[in-house]
Amino acid sequence: MIGNSCSVDDLCKAIWSVEREFGLLDLEVAGVKVWQYLRMPIYYHVAERAGVFLAPHVPSGGRFAKVTKVFNYLIGAILHNPFFGKRRSVEQVVIEHPRSVNFSGQDVDIYSHFYIKALQVGGISYLSLDRADLGSKHCKAYDPARKYLDIFPVLVKLCGLLGKHRLSAEHKVLVRSVSERLSTEIGAAIDLEPLLAPAVLKFQVNYRLYTALFKRLKPKRLVVVVGYAYGDAIRAAKDLGIETVEIQHGAFSRYHLGYSYPGVEQPLDYFPDTFVAWGPFWADMGVLPLAQERIQFAGFAYFHHLRNQQLQVCKQDKKIIVLSQGALGARIAEFVYSLREVLKDFEIVYKLHPGEFSRWQEYEHLVLLAEMPNVVIAKQANLYELFASARYQIGVFSTAVYEGIGFGCTTFLLDLPGVEYMADLIDNGLAQLIHDSADLQRVLSEGLTENMAFDPDAVFGRDPNQ
């Protein structure tokens, strides 16, 4: 048993092992390759049970908040339903990222925004589909070319009330065996049946809805952000002969189970035909389950645009940014608190993840850090301005770590679960792994020189304005 010593490496190896042993990528339940469809939720579930990560925290807000959430979904499903309105064909359908960022005075999905702008310039007809965020809100401005996906979870919920899918006796035996094997591997009780059974119904409902929608719109291409969240849409598009494309939305590695399928050679049912990466760094990893010719590069235009706005900002030698993450928030705070004596002469800007804005005071050690005169808790601060002004950054495995390095920040990675994702950065000397305060003290005393091996163009693609 791995027990409390379980790492991301251990976790992924355990999942890959049971996948091969039980042929789970080909497991078909009522016509649904349910393991492929649920691979990331399964990973997060097992990781939480193993104590590797915490589950994302979504405040319930009580009965009123629940009623409001249902009301918002119903309003979105009625007023912005993609099935309502005048029937029209489009050349492309784009499923946006639900999270939005204020950019040039409007809330946008930073990953698909520039792609859609290019469609507009090229006169290519399209329809954007927006999923509500965790608070059941749509933050992006009204746009006649944008509809909501709220009708999908509403109908899934209604179908679930009318009748739940149940696994056959044979599938129950198999799922029980897989659960027992994973329980042994990670040293914690795992029961996957409550995850798999509802997913079959969800896929079936969503697949039919997407099929009907695509027949109505007749697109030639489906573009998704976060492809592993839309296996049902991708499968529906493929079955209709529609090209499927995913736009990169963040960092990944051989430990990201949304993209890493070691030893898998056959085409995956719910993976897009083409992946549009920021730069060649991501293809060179050899992680994506696609032939090299199916990986394209378009750059991360949002990164380049904001970096160019900060060219005149000077770095402060005693300024350090801490990049928090929701799944590790309390542990990062505790680790940074243990470094407080080493960092007492630094200005520490503790950048919270948006999901932590309302709950950071639940972190005991972050509350203690906030009382220190050299610590600032940052919520809505401009992250790129912080990168431009800071000499150092502390993080674990977020995409922002790559962005900080792109801004020339000397990088310290805390030895916490998930740091394995950044093995390539550590191996290439682009980041220093920190185990404790003595480690950090030694590195700061010895001094660090900027490692020129980091090529922002390889990671983020070329700046189209240069």
Measured distance CA(54)–CA(48) in Å, rounded? 5
pLDDT at residue 2, as a whole number:
34
Q: Residue 334 above 50 pLDDT?
A: yes
Cα–chain center distance at 222: 19
In the predicted structure, residue 72 carries a pLDDT above the cut 90: no
pLDDT of residue 1: 29
Cα 379–chain centre separation: 19
Strands ordered across the beta sheet of 347-351:
375-378, 347-351, 316-323, 390-395, 410-414, 432-434
Percent residues over pLDDT 70 in the chain:
92
d(C-alpha 75, C-alpha 68), whole Å = 10
Across 110-126, b (16+ Cβ under 10 Å) vs e yields: bbbbbbbeebeeeeeeb
CA distance 21 to 15: 10
Residue 276's DSSP bridge partners are: 247, 296
Q: According to the model, what pLDDT value does residue 320 have?
A: 96
**What domains can be seen in the chain, in order of their start residue?**
82-138+204-304 (3.40.50), 311-454 (3.40.50.2000)
SS3 content of the chain, % helix, strand, coil (to 5): 45, 15, 40
- pLDDT (mean) for 315-333: 92
Which of 199-208, 305-314, 386-395 bottoms out in mean pLDDT, i.e. has the lowest?
A: 305-314
Q: Which of 115-124, 224-233, 265-274, 447-456 has the lowest mean pLDDT?
A: 447-456
Per-residue pLDDT tens digits for 353-382: 888 888 889 999 999 999 999 999 998 888
**Residue range 91-120, pLDDT digits in tens:** 999 999 988 888 888 899 999 999 999 999
Reported in sequence order, the residue ranges of 28-91 that DSSP labels E, i.e. its strands, are 28-29, 32-33
- CA dihedral (143, 146, 149, 151) in degrees, to 10, reads 70
Through-space distance between the first and last CA atoms of the chain, rounded to whole angstroms: 54
pLDDT tens-digit map of 276-288? 999 998 998 889 9
Query: Residue 205: enclosing H or E segment and its boundaries?
Result: helix 193-217
Beta partners for 124?
none
